[in-house]
Amino acid sequence: MNRYIMNRYILRFNTTNKNSRSNFLDIKSGKKKIETRAATTKYRDIKKGSLLVFVCGKEKFEKTVKKAKIFKTISSMVKVYPPNKIMPDISSVRELRKAYFSYPRYKEKIKKFGLVALEL
């Protein structure tokens, strides 16, 4: 099997969720430099050099991971990455936590798996 294909991950964004769409566009423009996901088995193996395919509806683009790190909590992650690097329109840990918990089952997923932060 081609090694390049093994290191390719598809990250989907919900077209009907305004925040999700905004994150997609911020990554595409380069405004958002850190993408995070709950570190479930689907995302926890993403490493430096992995190719990410970002998809929102019919739009898609690719970025390569410069660095990947798993954090157990939001608090430990913001010691390394300020909230506005993760979500450009957010300036506090409280707002960041609120944004994460607005996604379905994210509070439980973060508690169980932690977060993976992907530098783009």
Question: Strand, helix or coil at 89?
Answer: coil
Rounded distance, CA 87 to CA 44, Å?
20
pLDDT > 90 in the chain, percent: 82
Residue 34, pLDDT > 60, answer: yes
pTM of the model: 0.89
Distance CA 81, CA 115 (A): 12
Burial group, residue 102, by CB count within 10 angstroms (0-12, 13-18, 19+):
exposed
What spatial distance separates the first Cα and last Cα of the chain, rounded to whole Å? 26
Domain layout of the chain by residue ranges = 3-119
Between 20 and 43, the more confident residue is 43
CATH topology of domain 3-119: 2.30.130
- Rounded Cα–Cα distance for residues 71 and 74 (Å): 7
